[in-house]
Amino acid sequence: MTDDLVRGFEDFAHYQYENGTALMPKLVEDGQAPKYFIISCIDSRANPGTIFRARPGTFFAHKAMGALVRPYKQGTALAASLQFALTYNNVPNIIVLGHTQCGAIEALSKNLEDEEITSFISMAKASLKKAQACCSDHDEILAMTEKETILQSAENLKTYPSVQRALAENRLNIKAWLFDMKEGQLLEYNIQNKDFRIISASHKTEGSRKEESHG
């Protein structure tokens, strides 16, 4: 039943414990010093560990439906995690990683009747309203809501005391990223252009330039 996970672990253990370049023994010995804190959706297709093919020790991971960051409240999973990452591990980058075709945004747009879910995702309502005010096409509304929600989450991060301290001390960058699952593209919010710009794309969408080897 869980064979696929166990096989995956065997592969991981082989490369990260037994190989000459294995990282895990060193990370266990020396401790971790990740450069990133990534806030992503729970969606199984948008897992940062998978899409960034990250080596162990690369980033702290926080997952929430829709990659949503609600305004600060003491005692939440995110507040404690940020405190740990920023105050005790000096992580210099937070990335809010939203994605297209997000079930949380879809649920919001369809007024899903499930209080357990809607009480969490209601934070994105303002983004949906903004999108509905300027677009009429359903897909366009969803796409704009996804982007606006990522920006709102990035903004809400600034209500967390650990984030405020790190920003005041000039030791933190906050980035807003969007993973376009359909096109295989990674986009970043560009403050000058006030829009999300592609920073990396699959060769499929770039018109298959050259072969790239990922080892």
> Would you tell me which residues interact with Zn ion (CB under 5 A)?
41, 43, 102
CA distance 145 to 151: 10
Closest CA to 64 of 82, 87, 52, 89: 82
- Of the pair 43, 82, the CB lying nearest Zn ion is at 43
Question: Between 144 and 166, whose beta carbon lies closer to Zn ion?
Answer: 144
Q: Are 60 and 28 in contact (CB under 8 A)?
A: no
Q: Residue 91 or residue 179: which is nearer to Zn ion going by CB? A: 179
Which two tokens mark 165?
């301290």
181 token code pair: 């699952």
For Zn ion, the closer of residues 85 and 102 by Cβ is 102
Nearest approach, Cβ of 42 to Zn ion (angstroms)?
7
CB 187 within 8 A of CB 196: yes
What is the nearest approach in angstroms of Zn ion to the Cβ of residue 175? 18
Closest contact distance (angstroms) between CB of 8 and Zn ion is 22
Query: Which residue from 180, 179, 184 is spatially nearest to 202, judged by alpha carbons?
Result: 184
What's the min distance (Å) between Cβ of 62 and Zn ion? 14
